[in-house]
Structure 1
Amino acid sequence: MSETPVKHQNTAAFYGQAVASFSVAMVATAVGIYKLHADAWVRAFLAIAVLYLVTSSFTLAKVIRDRQDAGAERAR
């Protein structure tokens, strides 16, 4: 009994929702930091921290995806 792996593909609506959600979150965070009643250096530090968190999240997601893809290739 041979099972062929099913390739899951996201819909355009799911992709659009993910992009919109990410955009809203980044804009809301930027506005929140901009409107924060604090010194400029504090706001700059928070902005850099948010950018670092975002880039780290993208890197982690890519590493996890690559590991899953490698595991799927070995299973074939």
Structure 2
Amino acid sequence: MTPQMPHTPAWKAFTFISFAVAVGMLAIGVFFASVDVWTKGYLAMATLLSLSSAFTLAKTLRDEHETSRLINRIENAETERTLREAIPSRL
């Protein structure tokens, strides 16, 4: 299993800037929409819920992935230990 390479500072900056631009464009679109205040409020709340849900989903999937990696690492270590113990006894 190869470890994951860390992200470069340029990639981190790109992701933060992209996120800020996307949220800013959405906020501007809601603000300048030709609808009443109640509809703008509804759209703003739906946007916040969508963003929150996206972060929660991403974190949950990442946690499950990290857990499976840890379990695989433990299983591989147990297998290697068993093989090391079994092979010298046969020689």
Task: Give the TM-score normalised by structure 1.
Answer: 0.91
Which of 26, 29, 44 is 1:29 aligned to?
26
Partner of 1:74: 71
Give the 3-state SS of the residue equivalent to 2:7 in structure 1: coil
Structure 1: where are the runs of 5+ without partners?
none
Partner of 1:43: 40
Structure 2: where are the runs of 5+ without partners?
74-91
Write out the 4+ residue segments of structure 1 that deviate beyond 2 Å after TM superposition: none
| Identity of matched residues, % | 32
Q: Which has the higher contact order (CA 8 A, sep 6+)?
A: 1
More helix by share: 2
Give the 3-state SS of the residue equivalent to 1:66 in structure 2: helix
Cα distance in 2, alignment partners of residues 42 and 8 from structure 1 = 44
Deviations along 1:17-43, whole A, 9 cap, x unmatched? 000000000010000000000000000
Q: How big is the shift at 1:5?
A: 2.7
Aligned positions, number: 73
| Structure-to-structure mapping, 1:43-62, within 5 angstroms | 43-62=40-59
RMSD: 0.9
